[in-house]
Amino acid sequence: MDFAEARRFMVEGQLRPNRVEDPRIVAALRDLPRERFVPAAMASRAYADADVPLPGGRAMMKPMVLARLVQLSALRRGERALVLGAGTGFGAALMAAIGASVTAVESDPVLLAIARMAIAASLPAGAVTLVEGPSSAGHAAGAYDVIMIEGGVEVVPEAVQEQLVEGGRLVTISLAGGPPGRALLMRRAGGTVTTIVDFDAHAAALPGFAPAPAFAF
């Protein structure tokens, strides 16, 4: 399979018709070898207009949805970005490729191993810091300009929202209320977080982002 040609078709057939207009994102997706970020047996599906199944019942978000989510974040060069539910690291690699300083958190050691190898082979050393741990806790060691939860969530934990700096943005796909999911942009300003609902999109549910069970009396 000619992966370079597959990347070109992905950009022209999936991204451009769906309002992915940031030239940095388009260029990065044309260059990043997405096939490295999936198990070898799934490489031929890396550029399909669909989620790619991953070990442990997880999935890699389809290119168009990921691209629009990163675009929604309005990420600027030099900003600190946190990716939660990073999976095999492709979303973190994309953010690093457009100039962010990226920390990526993933709880599944199998997916994290794929991420380590793929990022090391695709980006300069130190471009992404990978952390093993529960994504729903965020990464309390830092405060971030942009947080991306790379999957579907029912709730965004307060602990994660608190890790945004003033003016910081959080993007994810909300599954609350049933299909279709909806892209959310959350922004911290004046000490409070406001939420804007943007485009409709599907994303596989991430573990750890369901509402806490309510007590019945």
| pLDDT single digits (tens) 154-171 | 999 999 999 999 999 999
Q: What is the DSSP letter of 139?
A: -
pLDDT category at 127 given cuts 50, 70, 90 is: very high
Residues 173-196: tens digit of each pLDDT: 999 987 889 999 999 999 899 999
Q: Are 201 and 20 contacting, i.e. CB atoms less than 8 angstroms apart? A: no
- In words, the CATH class of domain 3-200 is alpha beta
Q: What pLDDT does residue 180 have? A: 87
Q: How many CB atoms lie within 10 A of CB 76?
A: 13
Closest to 155 in 3D by CA, of 188, 132, 179, 177: 177
Q: What pLDDT does residue 210 have? A: 78
Please state the pTM of the whole predicted model: 0.94
